[in-house]
Amino acid sequence: MTSFPARRPRRLRSTPAVRRLMAETHVVPSQLVLPMFVREGLTEPQAISAMPGQSQHTLDSLRRAAADAAEAGVGGVMLFGVPAVRDAVGSGADDPDGILNVATTALVEEVGDALVVQTDLCLDEFTDHGHCGVLTPAGGVDNDATLERYASMALAQARAGSSLLGLSGMMDGQVQAVREALDAEGFVDTILMAYSAKYAGAFYGPFREAVDSQLTGDRRTYQMDPPNAREGVREAMIDVDEGADIVMVKPGLPYLDVLAEVRASVDVPVWAYQVSGEYSMVEAAAANGWIDRRATILDSLTAFGRAGADAILTYWAAEAAGWIREGL
Compute the average pLDDT of residues 203-226.
88
Compute the average pLDDT of residues 50-62.
97
Burial class for 113, CB neighbours closer than 10 Å (0-12, 13-18, 19+): exposed
Would the pLDDT of 104 be above 90? Answer: yes
Task: Calculate the average pLDDT of the chain.
Answer: 96
Distance of alpha carbon 91 from the chain centroid: 23
Compute CA distances 181 → 2, 133, 154, 188, whole Å.
73, 18, 8, 10
Distance of alpha carbon 310 from the chain centroid: 13
Percent of the chain with pLDDT over 90: 92
Q: How far, in Å, CA of 118 to CA of 76, rounded?
A: 7
Q: How far, in Å, CA of 75 to CA of 311, rounded?
A: 9
Asked if 160 and 185 count as a contact pair (C-beta separation under 8 A), the reply is no
Compute CA distances 171 → 78, 177, 314, whole Å.
20, 10, 24
Angle at 158 between CA 310 and CA 134, to 5 degrees: 90
DSSP type of residue 133: S
Closest CA to 95 of 107, 110, 83: 83
Would the pLDDT of 31 be above 60? Answer: yes
Angle at 96 between CA 47 and CA 152, to 5 degrees: 105
pLDDT of residue 166: 98
Q: How far, in Å, CA of 111 to CA of 64, rounded?
A: 10
pLDDT of residue 328: 53
pLDDT of residue 216: 80
Distance of alpha carbon 257 from the chain centroid: 18
Would the pLDDT of 224 be above 70? Answer: yes
Asked if 212 and 226 count as a contact pair (C-beta separation under 8 A), the reply is no
Distance of alpha carbon 44 from the chain centroid: 24
pLDDT of residue 1: 63
Asked if 283 and 51 count as a contact pair (C-beta separation under 8 A), the reply is yes
Domains parsed from the chain with CATH numbers: 27-325 (3.20.20.70)
| Pairing state between β 270-273 and 164-167 | unpaired
153-208: pLDDT as tens digits: 999 999 999 999 999 999 999 999 999 999 999 999 999 999 999 999 899 988 88
Query: Which pLDDT band holds residue 326 (cuts at 50, 70, 90)?
Result: confident
Query: Which pLDDT band holds residue 3 (cuts at 50, 70, 90)?
Result: confident
Residues known to be catalytic: 198, 250
H helix intervals, the chain: 16-22, 59-72, 99-111, 143-160, 174-184, 205-210, 230-242, 256-265, 276-287, 293-307, 317-325
236-285: pLDDT as tens digits: 999 999 999 999 999 999 999 999 999 999 999 999 999 999 999 999 99
Q: How far, in Å, CA of 175 to CA of 237, rounded?
A: 12
Query: Which pLDDT band holds residue 129 (cuts at 50, 70, 90)?
Result: very high
Measured N-to-C along each axis, helices 317-325 and 293-307 cross at an angle, to the nearest 10 degrees, of 90
12-29: pLDDT as tens digits: 999 999 999 999 999 999
